[in-house]
Structure 1
Amino acid sequence: MAPLYHLVQESIWAKCKADGAAYYPPTYEQDGFIHLTADARFLLGVGNLFYKDVAGTFLLLVLDSEKLSAKVIFEPAAAVGNKPSDGLAAGGAETAKEALPLFPHLYGTIDFGAVTAELPIERDAAGEFLSIPGLAETEAAP
């Protein structure tokens, strides 16, 4: 299983789980999909580019891609709501010769059974995403 990752506001995720309701992020209706990444190296950059100004606690959901019932399509980086992905796309390639990364987009909800870990994300007072304790352990798991 190759894990996929999703940054989620803890309050929204907790409410969906408690209510047994399907999870959709606040930008789903506008974007048409749930933003994921397959490369953990992008997580803090994604958090800081798109969610730094969003107050509250965030979690990282580690997903088993084989347990997702909705379609996942790898596509170029896309805006999250009204925030363009230009900075992420430009920083994704090490050199001009390297292809820009593709990101998994989930066209449906995240199945609760597909979540293999929920990791807290450390942020500073200004909202900057600093680290994700426990991430290395989930990457090393078979």
Structure 2
Amino acid sequence: MGWFHTMDPEDLKAFMAENGGEAPTCSLSNKPKEDSVPACSSESKKPEEKTQAKEETKPAPSGTTACALPPTSSPPPPPPETESIYHLCQKSLWEEAVEAGKPYFPPTFIVDGKFTRASVGKEDLVSTANSFYKNTQGAWIVLEIDCKMLYGLGVAILSQDAPESTKTVPVKCLQVFGGISTTLPGLITNVYDMERVFPSSGKFVAVLESSDAKIQKVEPAQETAPPLVPEPKAKSAKEQSKKSKGKFGLFRKKSQT
């Protein structure tokens, strides 16, 4: 499952030794060459092309940067037809983001292309973890993410077939173009522990059905004081004396009758 995550350097060496020096797909070893530049960058143009582009293209408004609009434009495709997608991550990094109340970004977010990797299959992550993170110490967890809710936030989720896919059983590699919120209720629907063999090999065995990892940042409930009720106004001695006289007057009237 080499398409899934950027490989740990030690695991990368071991993988290449076992596969005749061939690097896994989508790992750091297969990242674009340093001289490759996005199409909208001026660095990709030759000196003579810069002069021509300067004559044909109007300068961007002062204080801004811009790329020319393409002839046709369309939004990214919709997310895969699934309720949940899954992300494999280190437990310590996730809980650190939760405690800080900040979005979680994987360590490979920038070098991978400014996206977070995910999968439509939870059980696929066992082989993924063994291919990439067997030599990485510490606990690992799997985040179950509400796919429709994430897309509803305006986060693009692009899907592609992994290289090891077959025509009958395509394996989907997901690219989530954003981080994962640790404060939005309902986005993370569950967290699972990854079972490992320690201390002998560090091999990942299975995805367990529960985890003690925090799902999101929970603010302590604030105690609200009960509303203040005004105390009854104390009656003056004159008012109390008048009330007493009224009672005695009523008693005398009843006696006379």
Please confirm whether the aligned pair reaches a TM-score higher than 0.5, indicating the same fold. yes
What is the CA RMSD across the aligned residues, in angstroms? 1.8
Q: Aligned-pair distance for 1:124? A: 0.7
Does residue 14 (structure 1) correspond to residue 95 (structure 2)? The answer is yes
Unaligned runs of 5+ in 1: 78-88, 136-142
Does residue 30 (structure 1) correspond to residue 116 (structure 2)? The answer is no
| Larger strand fraction of residues | 1
After superposition, residues 1-142 of structure 1 pair within 5 angstroms as 2-32=83-113, 33-68=115-150, 69=153, 70-77=155-162, 89-90=163-164, 92-93=165-166, 97-98=167-168, 100-112=170-182, 113=184, 114-125=187-198, 126-134=201-209
Q: Which has the higher contact order (CA 8 A, sep 6+)?
A: 1
The number of equivalent residue pairs is 120
CA contact (8 A) 2:97 2:104 kept: yes
Q: Aligned-pair distance for 1:128? A: 1.2
> Of the two, which has the highest radius of gyration?
2
Aligned to 1:30, what secondary structure does the other structure show?
A: helix
Between the aligned partners of 1:134 and 1:41, the Cα distance in structure 2 is: 11
CA contact (8 A) 2:194 2:204 kept: yes
Unaligned runs of 5+ in 2: 1-81, 211-257
Aligned to 2:144, what secondary structure does the other structure show?
A: strand
Q: Aligned-pair distance for 1:99? A: 5.9
Q: Aligned-pair distance for 1:60? A: 0.7
Q: Aligned-pair distance for 1:46? A: 1.0
Q: Aligned-pair distance for 1:102? A: 2.4
